[in-house]
């Protein structure tokens, strides 16, 4: 039987606060806007009290206690700002700095680093402790993530996000004492591990020990090459996040300003991945209908999220036939740029340098997959730049996105949309498919295009839909550990679903590994994922067309070039296949 939690009243820094039993002192303090500093803490993910920055003094209790794991008790008197506490925390920071690579001016996390923030806050005047730095383990074997132990503070946030949220466990703490580090089993590189490149470790690292693999140098060279036609496509989620890098509120939609900024930095054409998303729905929904008719390889699972594809190839290769064979929106648009657009404009595809502005670090590995290469062994997309990388490039070029007037995408691959906006949030792919599946089946139009039952941030969402008079159960998961629950049901034959959407990152692409990094304390006060998702739903609501099959550019591409969805040309250009990936193998 459910028992209502007892309410506990305590005092923190002379202020009374009442919270349910089981609440920690840290949570109680945050309720009344007292910011007890933390480094290692992540709610429900890394609640270990290791860093000791959250220490508090409790009247009548011996020694200082870690507030992130200490439960409240009736009548507790807590202090967070005594001289002894401040001196202790200053010493902790000095010890952390003694073995931390202090190249702050050249670190991409400079000015957005929790350790740096705390050193300013506690006014670390000089380094009292100096030790011989352990030999750095710099691992840049992955196309997605670079790991540098010289900057690691052993907070274990990355380890537990990878293990608990993603169920991947590619990294763990190794060795002891001064030689302890976060690394990969058998001292192998990230590329050969179970890592899927999602970058969740990066956005949860409080320092610069984990960063995205930078492709900025190659892009600079391409933009300076007068012989190259440099084209960029922008993912749905980026328009709702890149403004944060320029001081705009979380959840600010900056589509037109983003296009204007990209034009100023030198791109020849700017196209919208939303169109690729609408093409994905045309192919994926048609593929789903065909599988329903033949009752084969059900449930079908979406294939837009590249980290999820790698996860399936490494952990569930026996289920690869359940994945949709449709390419991701990025790859579909990249393919159209170097086929449809190149032919239309009379351009040699080899003269096009195709860039994708993505919220995702895993996309950096996707573009080099052999099975995605086009005729002549050329990549459909030549370079992936994350939201953070592009923001740095714009600032370097003296372009203030926030101050620009709105501009439009270029024709013919960016002037219209259907349901592509909502691909950036969990449930969006499924909702877009549901808007078009009945039309693609028998020409019936869905009147209410907002499928609220698939929205929200619940780990696994379920719904029942009716297709051709028959009910089908569908599911949406976010975070790979949740995907495993659904995949294990398929393996043991108990899955009740016909169609499943998997998003690698919690919240979907709005929370991708390449997105702006929000400090843990700030994130605890506001719903970051919710605000970003709200911006995309706002863009969708304002769109002239809200169904993928209504996108006039999509209609023209099919009539002029592709033919019919899932037809011969479509399969040659817009579909792919997947292969089992081995991990932890000697090369």
What pLDDT, in 10s, does the model give residues 290-335? 999 999 999 999 989 999 999 999 999 999 999 999 999 999 999 9
pLDDT at residue 1 tops 60: no
Determine if the pTM surpasses 0.85.
Answer: yes
Cα–Cα distance, 201 to 213 (Å, whole number): 13
Per residue in 177-229, pLDDT (tens digit) is 878 899 998 889 999 999 999 999 999 999 999 999 999 999 999 999 999 99
Cα–Cα distance, 8 to 12 (Å, whole number): 13
Within the chain, all domains assigned CATH 3.10.20.740 are found at: 7-81
Per residue in 427-453, pLDDT (tens digit) is 999 999 999 998 999 898 988 899 999
Classified by CATH at the fold level, domain 217-574 comes out as Rossmann fold (3.40.50)
Which two structure tokens, joined as six digits, stand for 365? 């590995």
What DSSP state is assigned to residue 101? -
Which two structure tokens, joined as six digits, stand for 384? 């992936």
Per residue in 40-62, pLDDT (tens digit) is 999 999 999 999 999 999 999 99
pLDDT at residue 415 tops 80: no
Mean pLDDT value of segment 540-559: 94
Domain 7-81 has CATH 3.10.20.740: yes
| Count of Cβ atoms closer than 10 Å to residue 569 Cβ | 13
Q: Where are the alpha helices (DSSP H) in 126-166?
A: 157-160
User: Dihedral of CA 9/11/12/15: which sign?
Assistant: positive
> How far, in Å, are 313, 469, 531 from residue 465 at the CA level?
29, 10, 28
Within the chain, all domains assigned CATH 3.40.50.1780 are found at: 217-574
Per residue in 277-292, pLDDT (tens digit) is 999 999 999 999 999 9
Nearest to 539 by CA among 231, 241, 334, 279: 241
pLDDT at 417: 81
Q: Where are the alpha helices (DSSP H) in 470-575?
A: 480-491, 520-525, 528-542, 552-557, 568-574
pLDDT at residue 363 tops 90: yes
Within the chain, all domains assigned CATH 3.30.70.20 are found at: 108-116+131-211
Residue 103: its H or E element: none
pLDDT at 371: 96
Q: What residues are annotated to the active site?
A: 284, 287, 304, 324, 363, 366, 371, 509
pLDDT at residue 36 tops 80: yes
pLDDT at residue 134 tops 80: no
pLDDT at residue 586 tops 70: no
Omega within 30 of 0 (cis) for the link into 412 = yes
> How far, in Å, are 254, 336, 442 from residue 424 at the CA level?
14, 21, 28
Mean pLDDT value of segment 415-421: 83
Bridge-based pairing of strands 77-79 and 7-12 is parallel
pLDDT at residue 233 tops 70: yes
> How far, in Å, are 275, 322, 339, 343, 349 from residue 346 at the CA level?
21, 38, 10, 5, 9
Rounded to 5°, the CA angle 217-369-377 comes to 85
Which CATH code of 3.30.70.20, 3.40.640.10, 3.40.50.2300, 3.40.50.150 fits the domain covering 108-116+131-211?
Answer: 3.30.70.20
| Spatial CB neighbours of 35, under 8 Å, sequence gap ≥ 6 | 29, 521
- Contacts of 116-120 with C-beta under 8 Å, sequence gap 24+, read 116/207, 117/519, 118/37, 118/39, 118/53, 118/89, 118/93, 119/93
């Amino acid at each position: 039987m459910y028992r209502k939690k007892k309410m506990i009243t305590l005092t923190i820094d002379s202020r009374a606060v009442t919270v349910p039993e089981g609440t920690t002192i840290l949570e109680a303090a945050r309720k009344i806007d007292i910011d007890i500093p933390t480094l290692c803490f992540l709610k429900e993910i890394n609640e270990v009290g290791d860093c000791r920055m959250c220490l508090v003094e409790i009247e009548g209790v011996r020694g200082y206690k870690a507030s992130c794991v200490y439960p409240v008790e009736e009548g507790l008197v807590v202090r967070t700002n005594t001289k002894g506490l401040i001196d202790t925390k200053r010493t902790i920071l000095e010890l952390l700095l003694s073995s931390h690579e202090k190249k702050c001016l050249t670190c991409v996390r400079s000015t957005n680093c929790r350790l740096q923030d705390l050193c300013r806050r506690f006014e670390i005047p000089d380094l009292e402790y100096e030790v011989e730095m352990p030999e750095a383990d710099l691992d840049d074997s992955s196309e997605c993530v670079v790991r540098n132990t010289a900057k690691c503070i052993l907070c274990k946030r990355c380890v537990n996000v990878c293990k608990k949220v993603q169920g991947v466990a590619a990294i763990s703490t190794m060795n002891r004492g001064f030689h302890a580090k976060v690394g990969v089993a058998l001292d192998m590189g990230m590329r050969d591990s179970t890592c899927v490149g999602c970058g969740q470790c990066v956005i949860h690292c409080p320092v610069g020990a984990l960063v995205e693999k930078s492709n900025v140098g190659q892009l600079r060279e391409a933009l300076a090459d007068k012989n190259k036609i440099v084209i960029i496509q922008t993912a749905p989620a980026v328009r709702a996040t890149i403004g944060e890098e320029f001081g705009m509120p979380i959840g600010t939609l900056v589509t037109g300003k983003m296009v204007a900024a990209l034009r100023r930095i030198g791109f020849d054409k700017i196209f919208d991945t939303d169109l690729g998303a609408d093409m994905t729905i045309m192919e994926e929904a048609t593929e789903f209908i065909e599988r329903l008719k033949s009752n084969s390889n059900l449930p079908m699972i979406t294939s837009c999220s590249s980290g999820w594809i790698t996860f399936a190839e490494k952990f569930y290769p026996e289920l690869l036939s359940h994945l949709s064979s449709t390419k991701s929106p990025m790859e579909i648009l990249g393919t159209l740029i170097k086929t449809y657009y190149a032919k239309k404009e009379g351009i040699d595809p080899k003269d096009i340098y195709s860039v994708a502005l993505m919220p995702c670090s895993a996309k950096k590995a996707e573009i080099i997959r052999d099975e995605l290469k086009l005729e002549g062994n050329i990549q459909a997309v030549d370079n992936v730049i994350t939201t953070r990388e592009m923001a740095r490039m714009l600032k370097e070029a003296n372009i203030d996105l926030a101050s620009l007037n709105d501009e439009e995408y270029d024709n013919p691959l960016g002037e219209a949309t259907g349901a592509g906006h909502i691909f950036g949030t969990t449930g969006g792919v499924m909702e877009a498919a549901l808007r078009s599946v009945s039309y693609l089946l028998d020409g019936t139009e869905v009147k209410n295009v907002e499928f609220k039952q698939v929205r929200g941030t619940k780990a696994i969402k379920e719904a029942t839909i009716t297709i051709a008079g028959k009910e089908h159960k569908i599911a949406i998961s976010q975070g790979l550990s949740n995907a495993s629950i659904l995949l294990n049901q398929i393996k043991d034959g108990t899955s009740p679903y016909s169609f499943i959407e998997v998003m690698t990152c919690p919240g979907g692409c709005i929370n991708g590994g390449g997105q702006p990094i929000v400090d843990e304390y700030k994130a605890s006060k506001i719903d970051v994922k919710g605000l970003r998702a709200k911006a995309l739903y706002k863009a969708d609501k304002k769109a002239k067309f809200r169904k993928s099959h209504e996108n006039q550019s999509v209609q023209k591409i099919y009539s002029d070039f592709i033919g019919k969805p899932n037809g011969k040309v479509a399969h040659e250009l817009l579909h792919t296949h997947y292969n089992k990936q081995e991990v932890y193998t000697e090369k």
